[in-house]
Amino acid sequence: MSWKREPRTWLAIAGLLVLWGSAFAGIRAGMRLTAAGAVGADGYGPGELALLRFGTASVVLALYALAKRMRLPKGSELPHIALAGFLGISVYHVALNFGEVTVQAGAASLLISAAPVFTALLSVAVLKERLTGLGWLGILLAFAGVALIALSGGQGLQFTPGALLILLAATVAAVYSILSKQLLRRHSALEFTCYSIWAGTLPLLFFLPGLIRQGKVAAPPATFAVIYLGIFPAAIAYLLWNHALARMPASLLSSFLYLSPVLASFIAWVWLGEVPALLTLVGGGIAILGVVLVQTKGYARESR
């Protein structure tokens, strides 16, 4: 199995990391969390936020798909697509949103950053990808850097029951990556992004009554934040992710996700005024070093 380090692939990775890094601040802004860790009266609930976000993404992608006259999937592929969308969109984002209501930002970042480890393990078992010893060392080093970011709040890791939801999100994210890799062998990045987001949005319609009620009283900044999430960290970022995933091993691409907490901390600083601690900066540097190690020495190119 081989892949090319094309400039467009690197640009896609950079773009999706920035957009996904901004999603954490966007989710907090959309729910308008109070100091006590509750959803604000003029914000969106976790499920309703997920529906508005991916309902927006679905409309944007539908318009683009119509303009491109995109082909539809075969009937035999629908169960596979439905499973990918349900896990990667419905389950992941509802679990993440509900988890972030009660889980500290650092702890949430640490748990979500377990996804690349799960992806690497599944890639070895299912896709027959191979990481070298230095590759595994790089993954552990990046994970250690994220752990420092998680500890930077000064209170250690204080997990609430919502931490289980964050861990669930990390697990299904890994499964989604593997399912996506298999489907991207037969479909373009645009096609699969549309299929999976549309499929994942349908179960979220369960939250439609609540969304209608909350939309009437939601503060405009909360609505704008969720619409931003739908257009950029959802529609565009998922398209960029699938573009890159079609061109490189899932285990290597997922290792870049260790950079998300670094970017999320910086964006939260700019957007929400949350100043990163020194330990956050140190942890970010270690995480970046680990990702560089994976990308330069981690992939066994003779694997198939």
Rounded distance, CA 193 to CA 187, Å?
A: 10
Rounded distance, CA 276 to CA 266, Å?
A: 7
* Of 132, 116, 156, nearest in space to 261 by CA: 116
In a domain, 275, yes or no: yes
pLDDT (tens digit per residue) in 6-18:
788 889 999 998 8
In a domain, 1, yes or no: no
Total Cβ atoms within 10 A of residue 221: 13
Does the pLDDT at position 103 exceed 80?
no
Quick check: 3 and 247 in contact, CB under 8 A? yes
In a domain, 245, yes or no: yes
pTM of the model: 0.80
CA-to-CA separations, 233 to 34, 205, 261, in angstroms, rounded: 23, 20, 15
Does the pLDDT at position 181 exceed 60?
yes
Number of folded domains in the chain?
1
In a domain, 54, yes or no: yes
In a domain, 303, yes or no: no
pLDDT (tens digit per residue) in 268-288:
777 767 666 677 667 767 877
Tell me the pLDDT band of 302, cut-offs 50, 70 and 90.
very low
pLDDT (tens digit per residue) in 145-176:
767 766 655 454 555 567 678 878 888 988 89
Annotate the chain with DSSP letters as a single string.
Answer: ------HHHHHHHHHHHHHHHHHHHHHHHHHT--TTS---TTS--HHHHHHHHHHHHHHHHHHHHHHHTPPPPPGGGHHHHHHHHIIIIIIHHHHHHHHHHHS-HHHHHHHHTTHHHHHHHHIIIII---B-HHHHHHHHHHHHHHHHHHHTTTT-----THHHHHHHHHHHHHHHHHHHHHHTTTS-HHHHHHHHHHHHHGGGGGGHHHHHHHHHH--HHHHHHHHHHIIIIIIIHHHHHHHHHTTS-HHHHHHGGGGHHHHHHHHHHHHH--PPPHHHHHHHHHHHHHHHHHHHH-B-TT--
Segment 200-206 shows an average pLDDT of: 97
**In terms of residue numbers, what domain contains 211?**
7-297
* Of 62, 14, 55, nearest in space to 240 by CA: 14
Does the pLDDT at position 303 exceed 60?
no
In a domain, 2, yes or no: no
In a domain, 86, yes or no: yes
pLDDT (tens digit per residue) in 234-248:
999 999 999 998 888
In a domain, 114, yes or no: yes
